[in-house]
A = this chain, B = another copy of it.
Amino acid sequence: MSSSSEIDVLVSEVGPRDGLQSVDRIMPTTAKNAWIAALAASGLREIEVGSFVSPKRLPQMADAAQVVAHALTLDGLNVLALVPNLRGAEAAIGAGTHALTMPVSASRLHSMANIGKTPEEAIEEVARVCAYRDTIEGRRVSVEVGLSTAFGCTMEGPVSEDWVLEMAVRCAEAGADTVGLSDTTGYANPEQVKRMFTRLHAELGTKSGGAHLHNTRGQGLANVVAALEAGVTVFDSSQGGLGGCPYAPGASGNIVTEDLVYMLESMGLRTGVDIERLMKARPLILKGLPGEALYGSVPDAGLQKGFTYATAGVPA
């Protein structure tokens, strides 16, 4: 583990939100809190702990405010929550959440099917949330947009890259602090990832956000390598690839945090995460969701003989 508090790449753990909402069963609040505490103790700097949505739609997330309250007690942790709209943003900010993430879909069909809004209407919601956020006194709540289906859509097929970039610009203009790209469907390939993030950086500069990549077709970490080449320094991932992938029974949906951290550290990029402590957090998922399928190769194979963590000054 890095001895300094500095990191080269931010691994943003999304398991407690993205992972858990993909599982039908509900993880008890105490189990969530224990898991999140163990994740933070491994050195993860940022965790997306829940989603402020209708409990009728996603009962798995009904305890979001309680989970946020607990996460706020964890030292040095940036506490993120997903909000689909102003109502969710009000609740999340009321609960003390440090930063909000809002999904906006580049695919028109996916946007309508998922949230019943056009992409343009979703961007208007981002503007409303940012305007509300600007009224909060005493602290700055960051609003991060993740552009879903940015690399293709299961309903539409290919999505215009120009359109994705245009949406990114509009979201930034609407007030988002950062706009990242999400491979919601596992369609992305490394060439496309490198090209799209290069364009995103050219358009948005410091407002260009992180990469949310899936492993549906086994391309997750290959796409991370490509994104690193394009200068991306923030990656979403999920411990144990929790939630799996409905389209590929043996594959994780989200890229697996354990395998991601291992790769980054092996490459000389400091994450601040202790992989052995991270692996000790895995069983806590099963305490809350007995028998749930977990993914990842490093947890099975273990660290290699002579493995060393990245240190400052190693060429990336």
Contacts and interface: CB of A to CB of B under 8 A. Distances in A.
Interface of A: 152-158, 185-187, 189-192, 215-219, 221-222, 224-226, 229, 245, 247-251, 256, 259, 262-263, 266-268, 295-298, 300-302, 304-306, 316
A67 to B, nearest CB: 29
B266 A191 contact: yes
A245 B153 CA distance: 33
Contact of A304 (B152, B190, B229): B152
From A154, A226, A296, A300, residue with most partner B Cβ within 10 Å: A300
**Main secondary structure on A side of the interface with B:** loop
Contacts of A266: 189, 191-192, 219
Contact of A225 (B190, B192, B215, B305): B190
A22 B263 CA distance: 26
Q: Which residue of A152, A262, A266 has the most chain B CB atoms within 10 A of its CB atom?
A: A266
A191 B226 CA distance: 12
A295 B218 CA distance: 10
Nearest to A303: B217
A186 B301 CA distance: 9
B152 A306 contact: yes
B301 A245 contact: yes
A149 to B, nearest CB: 11
B297 A215 contact: yes
Lowest 5 CB-CB distances: which A-B pairs, in order? Answer: A157-B306, A189-B266, A218-B297, A248-B301, A221-B222
Nearest to A247: B301
Contacts of A229: 229
Contact of A297 (B190, B224, B250): B250
A298 B152 contact: no
* A186, A219, A225 — most chain B CB neighbours (10 Å): A225
B251 A190 contact: no
Contacts of A219: 221, 259, 262-263, 266, 297
A218 B304 contact: no
Contacts of A297: 215-219, 248, 250-251
Contacts of A186: 301, 304
A296 B218 contact: yes
A260 B302 CA distance: 24
A156 B306 CA distance: 8
Nearest to A268: B191
Given A191-B268, A225-B225, A263-B189, A217 B306 contact: no
Contacts of A259: 217-219
